[in-house]
Structure 1
């Protein structure tokens, strides 16, 4: 189903739009007992030629795709989840592969300097029903900060697992109202 948001007013967030869609179907049709809305927000930027924004052409900016999902039963509170997917990240240094369990099948040597390239999928659920701005920008900024470290020197991570843990811990420190679902990097 594709809806044109003419009757929903200004769309502040994709989460609020998904809530509006669920509410519309639940309140408009007595036979509808469950609604699930999934929305993606693709990052498009207007094409520029010689510094002039183009009238009708856009280019996809690969900074990850934001998405949300809202599920609502007729007499229940909505369940809201948000996420970021297809965010490609790379560290040219300051990443290691060390301190892991070794056994007779281990063939890879430890290293303290390697390239780490990853594609992020992060989905979180809101523990509370927010009526205000959703906090996905804070999550996005936290992912980039924890993955990269300070801009002048970065931050060393001995493993992929430590990097993922650092990202999750920073997000939870800044946004304690969320809980994680799948988190892959």
Structure 2
């Protein structure tokens, strides 16, 4: 029986980079968490300890910081694209590079009712995400870009039902025609282009996801996720696929009858675990190859 080395990659995870633009009296801030992963023929490093083809992870870190200044950090998609192309184009042993980025939003502090030019407070609705994968060089080079968000906690107090489900001897859940529906949404969308107004698309996609969650009268969280993804694809031809992951943040009606108090769907116990986890992808039937952006580096989302 032969024992061989399987797939391998390496990189520098979670480089916390803050880029402040000071070009004018009104400063701008971009706060990101950047992870790099490089693939290529690095077998010798594993099998014999030969590091001659290995670009140190510390060098990857230094490059990420340097590019925040040299290439700029206005949109995380464009910044990730610059980094990934550099590693593949300029470092011969690297055959593919994957850059994953999270962005933490800030909003300007209000001082005497006006926005301050160089003071911010953390804005915490969600974390913006992006990943860029570049594989190969020259005319054979292929690129995949995904945008996304995570930790978007969203709730609606009505307009959600759940009934008519399959039941067996262990089913105790009661059907309902009016329930609280809440989730902490993770969404990723796969682009068919390497050029876009990344910030505009992000804002637009987020607005669509929130709107569909609100306006779709839901018979199941699964139905809501499909309508959310469908609406994004209808709005943006440059997006081939949307992947959604939604933990069902359960809100159970609390029993106040023991106190002689009526609870008319008004007081709930928010239960954080265990939870249902609903995941789905919505895709164009003519969508191009997803490539390693989906298959080699990630699960459903």
Query: What TM-score does the superposition give when structure 2 sets the normalisation length?
Result: 0.54
| Counterpart-to-counterpart distance in 2, 1:36 and 1:90 | 34
1:137 to partner: Cα distance: 2.2
1:87 counterpart residue number: 152
Partner Cα distance (2:166, 2:124) in 1: 36
Aligned to 2:110: 48
Q: Aligned to 2:132, which of 70, 74, 86?
A: 70
Partner residue in 1 for 2:76: 14
Taking the TM superposition and a 5 Å limit, the aligned residue runs for 1:130-141 are 130-134=194-198, 135-141=201-207
Instruction: Name the CA distance, whole Å, in 2 between partners of 1:132 and 1:118.
Output: 29
The secondary structure found in structure 2 opposite 1:33 is: strand
The farther-off stretch of 85-94 and 59-68 is 59-68
Instruction: Note the C-alpha offset of 1:90.
Output: 0.5
Stretches of structure 1 lacking an aligned partner (at least 5 in a row):
150-154
Determine the structure 1 residue equivalent to 2:85.
23
Against the structure 1 CA distance between its residues 54 and 71, is the aligned structure 2 distance closer, same or farther, given a 3 Å change threshold?
same
In the other structure, the counterpart of 1:166 is 227
RMSD: 2.0
Partners of 1:83 and 1:123 within 8 A in 2: yes
Partner of 1:61: 123
What is the aligned length? Answer: 178
Q: Does 1:129 pair with 2:193?
A: yes
Is contact 2:160-2:219 (8 Å) kept? yes
Are 1:34 and 2:96 counterparts? yes
Relative contact order (alpha carbons < 8 A, sep ≥ 6): 1 or 2 greater?
1
- TM-superposed CA distance for 1:181, in Å, is 6.0
* Structure showing greater Rg: 2
- Which residue matches 1:152? none
* Structure 1 pair 181–148 and aligned structure 2 pair: CA distance change class (3 A): closer
Encode CA deviations 1:31-52: one digit per residue, 9 max, x unaligned: 3322221122211112223313
Give structure 2 stretches of 5+ with no counterpart.
1-60, 247-301
The CA deviation string for residues 89-129 of structure 1, in whole angstroms up to 9 with x for no partner, is: 01011111123222322211111111111100011212x22
CA offsets 1:47-95 (integer angstroms, 9 cap, x no match): 2233133454422222211111111123221111111101010101111
